Chains A and B, each alone.
Chain A
Amino acid sequence: MPKEILEIENVSVKFGDAMILKNISFSVNEKEIVGIIGPNGCGKTTLLNAISGFVPLESGTISYNGQDIMDLPPYKRAQLGIGRSFQHAGIFRDLSVEDNIVIGLEKAEKYPWYWMFTPKFRKKADHTVKESLEEVDLLAHRKSLAGILSGGQIRLLELARLKLFHGNILLIDEPTAGVAPVLRTQLATIIRKLNREHGFAIVVIEHNLKFLFDLVDKVVVLVDGEKYMEGKPEEIQKDKRLQEIYFGGSV
């Protein structure tokens, strides 16, 4: 029986008078990849923001590894092991490519504040940065500002940093947004690697359904802030009503 690591129960989120999420419940098991789909504005990103602690809940509970995390600020949730990537890529464009890795590395590895001035840590960090950037073909851009990278390269950099994150679950928001088709395969490979080799459970939001269905174990469909259905990718694809109301005929 796989261990449940994230449990979302009857979660509702309200912005002003508008109810963005209504009684959403689902769970994520250890090393499972869960996809979240739905039309624009149905509350997918808000759901990830609620899990990360960036938006307050109107009602419901969120537990991580059996612990209620409702009262924890975002950084504490990250320290517990909930990693996050963002719709517009959480990369610091004014920092160098190298520093974007280092800022994640020094936190994840709990380096002392003076590590930059000790040869032992510098060597260790240098090795990790090199290895991480090599894996995503960004080593040549090591000293460049991250802001000059293309959309796809920025996504790869974000995933390279996530790989160094110490935790159990990653929330990935639209990894293929603004990415050229040629890079999508590489992104999928890295996400699979994060799951299989690094043992992360992954919750991924994606509009590219082919990309998503090839990747995930389970899909949660949101429509108008409510959970419409949940199931294996093949079950979701067969649902006639879903095809009509959401996919416009066929998947």
Chain B
Amino acid sequence: MGYFLTQLARLAENVGLAIGSHLTIAVGNIFFLGGSTMFCFGAYAVAISQKAGLDPWLSAVVAVLCSIVFSFLFVLAYIKLSNDSFTVFTLSSMLAFEALVKSWDSVTGGVLGIAGIMRPEGMTKLKELVIFQIVIMIILLIVEYVILKTFIGRSLLGMRESKYFVESLGTSTRLIGGIAIVICSVMAAIAGVTTVWRVQFLDASFGSVTLLVLTVTIAVLAAKPKIRWLMLSAIFVTFLPEVFRFLPIPSIMIGHLRIFMYSVMLIIVLLTISKKLMPQKRFI
């Protein structure tokens, strides 16, 4: 029972983490790779707030508010940098965050991390927490669905083809891109909060390259700007590596095999459907 609950929790967490990346990468073609940084940020913010004596719920609110403020750093980079530089910036943000977490011992616990993170009242049992995570996942999916139905969604889809065309209609592509980045960051931070409540422990390896590859794989595999594709992709990516558990492979190898599988999937997807993911840019 515990195994299935954990898998369900992982699915909810992965979906939460990937929705934002789906919105930015698959819908808007904005290669924002800071989702995993924001996932860690949310987790650390909730853990540090709790360490400072805040109630778990209040610490979650603090984490989400802080993530909104922190996401403006990415928005600023999006406005100031070219597309390629922005992608590299968001990628390096994860390394910078990891270095900060490792070196700021007094607040983050350094390499030892923070243990004993409390779950909110009423969710002390895994089953209760998983139900809550699934509810959060559904809410986040509804939020993305609503966004796709509004001018933000349409403009993001338009930006895939040409920023010029969108601007010519009187819409600021910087504003739309900025909104997408803030939404992506907040969703990833929420996923980070619920994940750290489940594992109740946090260290610098919490948001590693594995997490980034997993997120991008889900977003890229979804390819189409449709919620059902995102869900299918998340289910596939979350559960596929579980087959390793039933094979005679040493448990220490499973983690490496999982990241290897994600990477191979990512390469195959990019080679086969890159045109769908990155439609040909049209110039004026």
Contacts and interface: CB of A to CB of B under 8 A. Distances in A.
Contacts of A79: 170
B208 interface: no
B162 interface: yes
A92 to B, nearest CB: 5
A44 B158 CA distance: 25
B282 interface: yes
A93 interface: yes
A79 to B, nearest CB: 4
A23 to B, nearest CB: 23
A99 B151 contact: no
A104 interface: yes
A94 B279 contact: yes
A87 interface: yes
Contact of B158 (A52, A83, A92, A117): A92
B252 interface: no
B149 A116 contact: yes
Interface residues of A, number: 32
Interface in B137-173: 146, 149-152, 154-155, 157-158, 160-162, 164-173
Contacts of B166: 75
Given A90-B162, A94-B157, A103-B155, A114 B168 contact: no
A94 B149 contact: no
A88 interface: yes
A91 B168 CA distance: 11
A203 interface: no
Contacts of A70: none
Contact of B168 (A52, A93, A113): A52
A133 interface: no
Contact of B154 (A75, A87, A95): A95
Contacts of A61: none
Contacts of B284: 45, 49, 54, 86-88, 90
Nearest to B155: A103
Contact of B170 (A49, A75, A102): A75
Interface residues of B, number: 26
A106 B151 contact: yes
Interface in A92-129: 92-95, 99, 102-104, 106-108, 111, 113-114, 116-117
Contacts of A75: 166-173
A116 to B, nearest CB: 5
B168 A102 contact: no
Interface in A142-157: none
Given A45-B284, A90-B162, A103-B158, A116 B150 contact: yes
A163 B282 CA distance: 23
A104 B173 CA distance: 14
B275 to A, nearest CB: 11
Contacts of B170: 75, 78-79, 107-108
A84 interface: yes
A73 interface: yes
A51 B168 CA distance: 11
Nearest to B282: A88
B150 A102 contact: no
A31 to B, nearest CB: 22
B134 to A, nearest CB: 24
Contacts of B162: 90, 92
A81 B155 CA distance: 19
Contact of A103 (B146, B151, B164, B279): B151
A99 B157 CA distance: 11
A75 B279 CA distance: 23
B154 A78 contact: no
A84 B171 CA distance: 13
B167 A73 contact: yes
A131 B254 CA distance: 60
Contacts of A103: 151, 154-155, 158, 169
Contacts of A54: 164, 167, 284
A102 B171 contact: no
A114 B153 CA distance: 12
B70 to A, nearest CB: 24
Contact of A78 (B146, B155, B167): B167
28 contacts: A45-B284, A49-B284, A52-B168, A54-B167, A54-B284, A73-B172, A75-B170, A75-B171, A75-B172, A83-B168, A86-B168, A87-B284, A90-B284, A91-B165, A92-B157, A92-B165, A93-B161, A94-B157, A94-B161, A95-B158, A103-B154, A103-B155, A103-B169, A106-B151, A107-B151, A113-B151, A117-B146, A117-B149
